[in-house]
Amino acid sequence: MPADSLGWLCLLLFADGATFAFFTTFILLHYGHALPPWQVAVVGGLASALGSTLQLVLLRWMLASSHPWMKRFVPSREKLEATLRQYPSASFMALAVARATPLPDAPLKLVAAVIEYPLVLYVLAIYLGSLPYYFALALVGSKVAIPTWLLVAAAAAIVAGVLIDRWRRSRRTA
């Protein structure tokens, strides 16, 4: 399977959606140059929505777990309550709109996990929200030749920034 194939796009977007979704923008820009933007949006959006739904299922499992080792990965009760106060409802429209923008949807995903939002509605909201955003980024990728090394460097810079921020926060609380 060639690296710029639809199969690789789906695999990458599924894995990205099931983890932290740091690389979605870069993947879409790259594959917009290799595949038709409508294909990137329709098929890639579905793969990403399925990966995001897997992440939601895992998050629900973590929230319901009583294993002590899981507490390290689960947000504190205070964070959950603060999130619930800030985002009292993870509605279909809110999920779809959040996915249609570059803004992080983690707070809504957390609320969806806590209130056990129906998985079918979740995957549908995420998929429908991803269509315009994914199409727009793939279209930009098809019109502007962005070197792969630049996309990889930008993604690495974001990951490094997140890791440095977490390290600094952990030092302050220690």
Q: Using one digit for the tens of pLDDT, what is the confidence trace for 107-126?
A: 888 888 888 889 999 999 99
DSSP, collapsed to helix, strand or coil, labels residue 146 as: coil
The model's pTM: 0.80
Phi, psi of 116 (to 5 degrees): 55, 55
Give CA–CA dist 26/137, Å, rounded: 9
Q: Give residue 1's pLDDT.
A: 64
Domain boundaries, the chain: 6-145
DSSP, collapsed to helix, strand or coil, labels residue 98 as: helix
Neighbours of 36 (CB within 10 A): 15
Summarised one tens digit per residue, pLDDT across range 26-43 is 899 989 989 999 999 999
Are the beta carbons of 174 and 46 closer than 8 angstroms?
A: no
